[in-house]
Amino acid sequence: MRIPSKLAALVLAGTLVACTTAPIRNVTDAPVTNAAGKTLTPDQVKSAIIRAGATLGWQMKEAGPGMLVGSLALRTHTAEIQIPYSSSSYSITLKSSTNLDQKGDQIHKNYNGWIQNLTNGINAQLAAS
């Protein structure tokens, strides 16, 4: 049985999109730790998050006490995240996206890499504080 070329192209396109998406990665209550084992203030945590984001191209803005909003724009792709933080933990949650194939709890897999890099950067900044 021969599959019409238009149908085959649609199936292939659907398969390619499915391969480029993954479940949205949120970070929930990541512990705030530093190398000296001392407790950090919320302001120190905020500064560490802002520094980490800046090195990766994230624009961070205060959105109230204990809350930052970050945005990253690469070419035509944008992601906006919320980062609640305290002296003991921080979280990263997707707020919105543009051109990242977001459907339900799925998003372009590059987004998850951006969040992993940001998490690693925050943890490095906190450790150095």
Convert the pLDDT of each residue in 22-63 to its tens digit: 999 999 999 998 888 889 999 999 999 999 999 999 999 999
Give a yes or no: residue 16 inside a domain: no
Burial bucket for residue 51 (CB in 10 Å: 0-12, 13-18, 19+): middle
Give a yes or no: residue 57 inside a domain: yes
Q: What is the mean pLDDT of residues 63-86?
A: 96
CB 84 within 8 A of CB 42: no
- Count of the separate structural domains present in the chain: 1
For the chain, report the end-to-end CA distance as a whole number of angstroms: 66
**Widest CA span in the chain:** 69
Task: Report the predicted TM-score, pTM, of the whole model to 2 decimal places.
Answer: 0.82
Where is pLDDT greater, at 124 or 7? 124
Give a yes or no: residue 1 inside a domain: no
pLDDT of 9 higher than 70:
no
Q: What is the CATH number of the domain that holds 71?
A: 3.30.310.80
- CA 79, CA 100: separation in Å to the nearest integer? 8
Provide the residue type at 30 as one letter.
A
Confidence of residue 94 (pLDDT cuts 50, 70, 90): very high
Task: Domain of residue 32: give its range.
Answer: 22-128
